[in-house]
Structure 1
């Protein structure tokens, strides 16, 4: 009888031990799954929040330091000159709260300096960069030719030249109507520029109003870098587009703070309360993508000039340090 009691106690102890081990195993398994779930949610959130969340986006290894990774790269440790430039931008943002969006991409080092890079701005004439891309894509596919004539007898080449180099509005509008505003927006979104809109007409209760064309500093920089890298268009169209930017006649914005040591192939944008400048800086055989978008001015022509002078000077200090 005593022996049976001992066996029962021993068996009960064995069952208890197995039960406890099973509970611990289940708890550990649940904890692991919970952590995996949290990591999955975090990864999904980062993807959904990313400016360039598209199905065919390349990995960081494939396009390290490019516009598609602006938000990721901007969190990296900066060089001393990059940190100095960031400090200058921070100081400007104190004086002009939420009025300045900035992206600079160092093509050689992959370093990226940003502020308010995902903020949506009225694009002003920067929309003409995306318009030109859409037109030249149709040239590449054979739907259009640069020598096609518009209604007034001028060619698409003539219209694109005046659209970019002197920011003429009417030729730009005619080119947009040629392929359709909605088609431009659809095409641009398909290419990953999901925060850039082409909706110049808004309808409310049967009445049409002028709407805003919008973009972000990050997407403007992304467009310019992909253009420079030959990822957007054919070699001929890429060379043509860069040539238009290089022949820019409007130098009232960022040029005011740049030195003669650099060349700047760029496009400006100006409204009463908005002033932008974005393009490709080249010095000593090195290239830098820069996009500066500003708004909130009473008279942008005058009020934004000191800001561009200061930003241009700070950018030059950064370039000289490279």
Structure 2
């Protein structure tokens, strides 16, 4: 446990540095760009410049980023239950080689069980976690309000609710256009999530669009852990974000292996060949971060079901042992 605490302290120190690095000016589209482009970029856009306030700007060097990545990828097994969970994951990895990434963090003890935690996956709709973080950071900065109206008259609150609870792609894209895919990418990287990317590119219409969406199990898990610990956002925005995750309507993945004894505030991601689920498990007043990313399926909706059933059962066995 001491080793895990040291890792978390070093990670927290790095994040403090990265936060200061993130205090560079975060420019949003000007009014000219907000008027250009096709209807897919129709959301109202800010015409004011937004900065992440700070007294000085620090740049993290390559060694600090490498150290942070090592911490993100670390597995610290301290109990027999953790060893058993790792063994179950090994069996699943053998049955589905190179298709599974997993992180579980026991918030009470610091124990972490991982497999393929640093592997880059297509993020599918897990990118919406990072998008929501970026939007709520702007809310905390006063540049946006949850009651601001989008082009169709719905509020940012409405759009965020649809984006997280039912994984609406259109509301998510409009929110991304609101502050710019390029700005979101810069912000996320400045916060230390260096393996998460939207690969933005600029089109002739003056609008940034997303390319391949990528992330890792480790970075998804640590985003959730920092959210739960109140390290990402203000208290009100943290509570709001957690509330959205708790209202999740899509329960086709990890939920099928869990019992009614746990609550799961989470976000799914699904493509033809990809199925993910990540969130915060709560049982008997204790919290656990879990991220499960899978790919390589012909029909993920059906093919990934046995994996999520197996992982859910293994996780429940771990929780019962606490």
* TM-score when normalising by structure 1: 0.77
- Structure with bigger gyration radius: 1
CA contact (8 A) 2:181 2:209 kept: no
- The residue that corresponds to 1:270 in the other structure is 270
CA contact (8 A) 1:67 1:222 kept: no
1:213-256 Cα offsets, whole Å, 9 max, x none, are: 00000000000000000000000000000000000000000000
Matches within 5 A, 1:82-93: 82-93=82-93
1:39-86 Cα offsets, whole Å, 9 max, x none, are: xxxxxxxxxxx9x9767279xxxxxxx9983433x1x44310100000
Q: Which runs of 5+ in 2 are unaligned?
A: 1-10, 20-67
- The residue that corresponds to 2:152 in the other structure is 152
CA contact (8 A) 1:67 1:225 kept: no
Question: Could you tell me how far 1:277 is from its partner in structure 2?
Answer: 0.1
1:83-140 Cα offsets, whole Å, 9 max, x none, are: 0000000011111111000000000010000000000000000000000000000000
Q: Kindly indicate which of the two structures has a greater share of residues assigned to helix.
A: 1
Question: Could you tell me how far 1:198 is from its partner in structure 2?
Answer: 1.1
Using the alignment, how far apart are the partners of 1:248 and 1:69 within structure 2?
29
Matches within 5 A, 1:1-322: 56=17, 69-72=71-74, 74=75, 76-199=76-199, 201=201, 211-322=211-322
Q: Which runs of 5+ in 1 are unaligned?
A: 1-49, 59-65
* TM-score when normalising by structure 2: 0.77
Using the alignment, how far apart are the partners of 1:130 and 1:319 within structure 2?
27
1:286-309 Cα offsets, whole Å, 9 max, x none, are: 000000000000000000011000
Using the alignment, how far apart are the partners of 1:291 and 1:78 within structure 2?
19
Using the alignment, how far apart are the partners of 1:187 and 1:57 within structure 2?
10
Alignment: residue pair count:
260
The Cα RMSD (Å) is 2.4
